[in-house]
Structure 1
Amino acid sequence: MAAAPELDIRQLDDYITVFDIPFSRFGILPIGNRSTAVKLKDNKVLVVVSSPCDEPTKAKLAELGQVSYLIAPDLEHTMRISDFHRTYPEAKCIGPAGVAEKKPDIRWEGVMGEGGESKVYGFEDEIKLQFLPGHVNKELAVLHIPSRTLIQADLIFNLPCTEQYAKAFTDGRAFWPLSMFQSKAVAGHPFIPSMTSKDKVAMARDVAVINGWDFDRMIPCHGNVIPTGAKEIWLKASSFLNKK
């Protein structure tokens, strides 16, 4: 696959590398896109897949180590997983319920909600996964324990997505309605994430698990990285689930 000229690769620390690209919903709403690579012990690398598997991405992943796990973070973020699977056929692929039907070309090691949550993958002392079937896209949240980082796809946006448009001709600043999805605005207006919760009872159950996780940074697929204070933002944004 040819390189995306607007790809911006950033290594945030010894563990986390993000692969940022511009992306506009419906071709007009800039929300950005990113994959996130996590360097694990024993030279293994886990990738939460969303952006293209292009040559610069592959070169950076080779520098980080051996790609051993590929995560599809929800049913909407599956467009690139087949390319990654073809490039790294030995990597264990993990995704949410329904992903095997959507991507039958992939040999899925674990499908959450269909038995995958009870499997041992080998990263349990570094990675936690939480499946949220109550979300409209069937989210699969990822916690990297050593760096205290929550990685998620569509649970919380953090717009404008200026980081993901850093190498683009435009700056990725969404027009005014999307300003509602900024992290501070979401914290003050929990009805925004509630719009994507199709089963609030199930969401409350699974969000309670994430509430118990220890994280300070959040990496969304859409919008800027929240480098610190993310746990407080998360708790406020999901507070609607506590209301009777």
Structure 2
Amino acid sequence: MSDKLVPSNPADVMVIRDITPNITTLSVPFARFGSIEVGGRCTIVRMTGGGVLVFSPVALTPDAAAVVTRLGGKEGVRYLVAPDIEHHIFLSEWLKAYPNARIVAPQGLAEKRAATKGKNPRVNVDDTFFAILQDKRKQPMSEPQPVAPDFDADFGLVYFEMHPNKEIVLLYRPENILIEADLMFNLPALEQYQRVDPATRRGAPGSATLLNRIFQAFMKTEGDLKWAHRFQWYLTSSSDRARFNEGIRVVDAWPFETIIPCHGETITKDAKAVFRRVFEWHLEGKKN
């Protein structure tokens, strides 16, 4: 996320939604390149041993802090997960408020943040990372990299190190819920723009609409998915398609019933069927 694109009034536009008694999402508007409306979403999960895990932190508003108190109690935040090298802008803000939280991030993010020293006041390059997922191409995708006993007990993990953004995908085991960032979008981002006045949206009139339509053709989950298939096949997985396919099959084997993406609508119905449609070519191991 570019700091210039962060909503200036997050408390006014944030949509807070209880997915289950143990999971609450914080959805906010976010326009990629200032015009493509993909939205942003943070997922707060109650851990079985106490405290919460925060996946893809967004602005820490008073209402967001209240969710942490409600779900995490005295334990507060135990883990802050940067799901890829793009979703990290608010890590420092949350770590300052919850100094005992442990940051889980992909390889390369610390270096990326260090390169922004003095350029982005939101990023504290001295933040300590607890677990950095590594590129382990010789290790089967079905063997997750361990984080910590309490984390591993609650969450299944697949790390797509070959993805351009280096994606961390989680399964919340107690409720069979898949939580992910840029592995799969579900546009348009309706909930994330629910509290935004259309007249205030960024982008020149007409141009944003055209860009949105083009991007949504690649990032939708309904209707004709030929462009979505091509995007995943030729771009997302191109650096190591065989390993990407392996990771998709591991995720597909998880018994998830809901998908919470960072961009677009949460999928609470037929989530496994939707996932299989989007990644049809990868599950088959071939292009149609």
> Structure 1 length normalisation: TM-score?
0.91
> Shift of residue 217 of structure 1?
0.6
1:103-182 pair list within 5 angstroms: 103=113, 104-113=125-134, 117-170=145-198, 175-180=212-217, 181-182=219-220
Asked if 1:28 is matched to 2:66, the reply is no
Match of 1:191 in 2: 230
> Shift of residue 58 of structure 1?
1.2
User: For 1:187 and 1:73, how far apart are their aligned partners in 2?
Assistant: 25
User: If each structure's helix is expressed as a fraction of its own residues, which one has the higher value?
Assistant: 2
| Cα distance change on mapping 1:58 and 1:183 into 2, 3 Å | same
Q: Aligned partner of 1:184: which letter?
A: E
Helix, strand or coil at the partner of 1:41: coil
Say whether the 8 Å CA contact 1:2–1:55 is kept in structure 2.
no
Of 163-172 and 147-156, deviating more is 163-172
Say whether the 8 Å CA contact 1:31–1:160 is kept in structure 2.
yes
Asked if 1:216 is matched to 2:257, the reply is yes
Match of 1:68 among 56, 67, 78: 78
Match of 1:80 in 2: 90
Say whether the 8 Å CA contact 2:29–2:39 is kept in structure 1.
yes
| Cα distance change on mapping 1:230 and 1:186 into 2, 3 Å | farther
| Cα distance change on mapping 1:76 and 1:5 into 2, 3 Å | same
Say whether the 8 Å CA contact 1:187–1:234 is kept in structure 2.
no
> Shift of residue 211 of structure 1?
1.6
Percent sequence identity is: 30
User: For 1:111 and 1:124, how far apart are their aligned partners in 2?
Assistant: 15
Say whether the 8 Å CA contact 2:189–2:263 is kept in structure 1.
yes
| Cα distance change on mapping 1:97 and 1:176 into 2, 3 Å | same
Say what the alpha-carbon RMSD is for the aligned residues.
2.3
Structure of higher CA gyration radius:
2
Asked if 1:44 is matched to 2:51, the reply is yes
User: For 1:152 and 1:166, how far apart are their aligned partners in 2?
Assistant: 21
| Cα distance change on mapping 1:88 and 1:121 into 2, 3 Å | farther
Match of 1:200 among 241, 245, 261: 241
Match of 2:267 in 1: 226
Of 110-119 and 129-138, deviating more is 110-119
Q: Aligned partner of 1:105: which letter?
A: D
Say whether the 8 Å CA contact 1:186–1:193 is kept in structure 2.
no
Unaligned runs of 5+ in 2: 1-7, 114-124, 137-143, 202-207
User: For 2:168 and 2:192, how far apart are their aligned partners in 1?
Assistant: 22
Runs of 4+ in 1 over 4 A off after TM superposition: 171-174, 185-189
User: For 1:140 and 1:70, how far apart are their aligned partners in 2?
Assistant: 12
| Cα distance change on mapping 1:221 and 1:119 into 2, 3 Å | closer
User: For 2:255 and 2:268, how far apart are their aligned partners in 1?
Assistant: 14
> Shift of residue 114 of structure 1?
6.2
User: For 1:52 and 1:73, how far apart are their aligned partners in 2?
Assistant: 16
> Structure 2 length normalisation: TM-score?
0.78
Aligned residue pairs total 244
Match of 2:13 among 6, 20, 27: 6
User: If each structure's strand is expressed as a fraction of its own residues, which one has the higher value?
Assistant: 1
Of 115-124 and 3-12, deviating more is 115-124
Unaligned runs of 5+ in 1: none
